Amino acid sequence: MNLISTSGNGSFKVLEGHQEIFKLNYTNWFLGKAEAFLDRQKIEIKPKGLFQTKSEIRKHGKNIGTIGMSWNGKMHIQYTNEEGKLLKFTLERTGFWQSDFCLKNEQDEVLMELKASTNWKKLKLDYTIVFKYEDTQVDNNELLVYVGYAMNLHVAITSAS
């Protein structure tokens, strides 16, 4: 799978081979509002406060979770899945100078790695997604919506400081 940047505002799409799984589009880049349609379900993500370090996840118009950054630079994603279980993940960079990320579950198991590949023509980063561990409680495509947004939020917060 690949996460491909489609715009300078952070919008991206996820492809499996040549088939598009979903797109996340920023409806208001300045305010950090984004939306994606996955299996005909609308997912909206928007900042909760003025400083934009925490965002809320809405699905079907209902708040189901949050994405935020902790003091140590790790992104925390938590949301309630379709079965009503609260899922928690941590997204972190895998190297100080690198643009790669890894996603871990609550048990500190690496679920996926996102390996950056720079496209100098676009001046944007694309990512190859490598799944390391299969969690049956997680819809990987839905989780990738949140992971992609969290990576963009991480870059925006760390480049502003």
What are the extents of the domains in the chain? 2-160
At 52 the pLDDT is 63
DSSP 64: E
The 10s digit of each residue's pLDDT in 11-63 is 999 999 999 999 999 987 677 899 999 988 999 999 987 666 799 999 988 99
135, 105 in Cβ contact below 8 A? yes
CA 69, CA 150: separation in Å to the nearest integer?
A: 9
14, 144 in Cβ contact below 8 A? yes
CA 158, CA 52: separation in Å to the nearest integer?
A: 12
Residue 156: pLDDT band by 50, 70, 90 thresholds?
confident
CATH for the stretch 2-160: 2.40.160.200
